Structure 1
Amino acid sequence: MQVVNILPFEVNQLIDMTKPKSYAYGRRLYRFKQHEKHYWLKIQLRDTHTLFEHSYCQELMFYQNMQNLAYLLPCQQLDVSHCVEFKASYTALILPHATPWLSIATQLSIKQIAKKILAMLLSIEHFYHLGYLHADLKHEHFVMWQGQLKLLDFEQLQSIDNPPAQLTATPRYMAPELFHGQPKTLYTELYALGIILYEWLAGQRLTAKSYLDWAYLHCQQLDLKLDAPYAVFLPVLQALTHKQTTAREQDYGMLKPYLQRLIDENCPILFYI
């Protein structure tokens, strides 16, 4: 990927969207507009926070090596070293603005919801077959651009052949085995997807007050329920969130046929996994 050094914006036109915690660690996130289109500018300052810098550089490298990947937004890398405001920064990332993939579920038919879920499942599979785990799946990391599903935020990306020594994860989406020190796998990705989909279809977020409470929730207390008409997706959620990895693995192959039947026939209930 070519790195350009001509700023496509005026610095004073940038809208700062950086979260306070990220700001303290040297991260900067801005929005800007060019030719009636909206973009995001992502920057990491040097010599601020080792972990944030490493994660940012990992994402930079991934975009550089995988720029033509189907599930990636078109990305431009920008040299901002000549810009006074960002002279102590790594190369910046510019990405087009995209809308949330998980739009309001009540506005969608069963068939439309099944299509969205199947697309998400295929995107996770796609990265896995390339030898990667996204490793930080959240609902906001699935977006729609030009009518297609794209994934965002590859700072925690990991190779399936070379998992990191230290686990970094968001407790809300952690599979039970992660609380026991096991490495991330395809099946921890599927578990995270199950939690994302449950919160979307149930219209409420899971809650816990501490890391220990999250551990109890995922390892012992998780009990997913969906009201009609979304109960048809409960078998999918149960397959994705089995407490035992072997059970997730066993039911994994049933997910795509089940969703495809919903798409093709749009029946209220077809069969249970």
Structure 2
Amino acid sequence: MSFITWISDPTIQWNNWSLETKKRSYDFGRRLYTFQVENQKYWLKFHVADTDPVIEPAFQGELDFYQLETIKTQHFLLPHHIIFLEQTPQCLHLEAKGRGLILLDAEEFFTNVLLSKNIESIQRKISDALNTLDCIHQMGWIHGDLKPAHFRLYDSACKLIDYEQGFKLSDSAPVINATPHYMAPELFHGAAKSIQSDLYALGIILLEWLTQTKLKADTYYDWAVLHCQLLQIQLPQELECFFPLLNGLLQKRVEQRFRSVLDAEGCLNAIGLL
């Protein structure tokens, strides 16, 4: 059944509802549900009005992004639909009105690297992630909040989700609201997000994926020290061919970092396996 068709069909059952919002986000007014229609899993995301002056506008900005005319021909998005919450089944008794976002569920893109059969498949997977990120950059936008969970695999292709922190390069950069785990060093010094801060975040994602480890820090200050001073790139011997790529993505000084996805792709292709 067509994704859009069942939304307006009152006879279709939305089953197995589950509230997935973390407590902190719930207290700020965010709501995130999962449900199923004909054995397919979906997400419903919305925000309760007049609950938080920062998070609520960020969600409205994401809805506006999905409605851009230039988005309609893009292939880096999951199947989605913006609905009025009054369209949801009345049995849910949702405590909000206005608009919500429905996304089709998809697998994680960065699964265990050990499941990749060889260096070539790892290189191809990295290339797919870079190409997907380049799509939004070529539109003139910054994602602004890259993390592993925002890369999804659907229809054998890499997709990107969560555009609450996204903004157009030609607009004034919004107040910095980022995840310290993936923040570029310059952001800790008050610089605006940029293409290169997106690239740095992807570099951290790739470093953790290739090493199957997680960076750890207890406080915002500790994260700042880690990214600005202590971060080192150490790869398993069999994956050391990816060191030049990570080195270019993770330069602490922004002027020494790759300037674009094109730079990163050139370095990746220089490995000479694809």
Both structures adopt the same fold (TM-score exceeding 0.5) = yes
Instruction: Tell me the residue number matched to 1:17.
Output: 20
- 2:251 counterpart of 1:246: no
SS state at 2:73 partner = coil
Structure 1 position 118, deviation (Å): 1.1
Does structure 2 retain, via aligned residues, the 8 Å contact 1:240–1:252?
Answer: no
Return structure 1 stretches of 4+ with deviation > 6 angstroms: none
SS at 2:229 equivalent? helix
Q: Give the CA deviation at 1:88.
A: 2.4
Q: Is the 8 A contact 2:196 2:259 kept in 1?
A: no
| Consecutive unaligned residues in structure 2, runs of 5 or more | none
Q: Does 1:152 align with 2:161?
A: yes
Alignment counterpart, residue 55 of structure 1, candidates 41, 58, 79: 58
Q: Which residue of 2 aligns with 1:78?
A: 83
CA apart distance, 1:69: 1.6
Q: Does the 8 Å contact 1:163/1:183 carry over to 2?
A: no
Are residue 96 (structure 1) and residue 101 (structure 2) matched? no
1:192-238 Cα shifts (integer Å, max 9, x gaps): 11001001111111111111111111111111101121111111111
Shift of 1:165: 4.3
Separation of aligned partners in 1, 2:96 and 2:265: 47
Instruction: Check conservation: 1:7, 1:78, Cα contact below 8 A.
Output: no
Q: Distance in 2 between matches of 1:215 and 1:78?
A: 40
| Structure-2-length-normalised TM-score | 0.88
Equivalence for 2:38: 35
1:256 aligns with 2:265: yes
Unaligned runs of 5+ in 1: 267-273
Shift of 1:68: 3.3
Alpha-carbon deviations, 1:82-135, whole Å to 9, x = none? 647225233111111100011110111211111111111122222111110000
Paired residue secondary structure (1:81): helix
Residues 22-65 of structure 1 show CA distances to partners (whole Å, capped at 9, x for unaligned) of 11112111111112211111121112112121011111111111
CA separation of 1:92/1:231 partners in 2, compared to 1, >3 Å: closer, same or farther? same
Q: Taking every aligned residue pair, what percent have the same amino acid on both sides?
A: 34
Structure 1 vs Structure 2 CA RMSD: 2.3
Number of residue pairs the alignment of both structures matches: 264
Q: Is the 8 A contact 1:114 1:259 kept in 2?
A: yes
8 Å contact kept, 2:145–2:166: yes
Partner of 1:127: 136
> Is the Cα–Cα contact under 8 Å of residues 239 and 252 in structure 1 kept in the other structure?
no
What is the SS of the residue equivalent to 2:67? Answer: helix
Q: In structure 1, which of residues 152, 160, 175 is the aligned counterpart of residue 184 of structure 2?
A: 175
Q: Which amino acid aligns with 1:85?
A: H
Secondary structure, in 3 states, of the residue corresponding to 1:243?
Answer: coil
- In structure 2, what is the equivalent of residue 271 of structure 1? none
Q: Is the 8 A contact 1:14 1:32 kept in 2?
A: yes
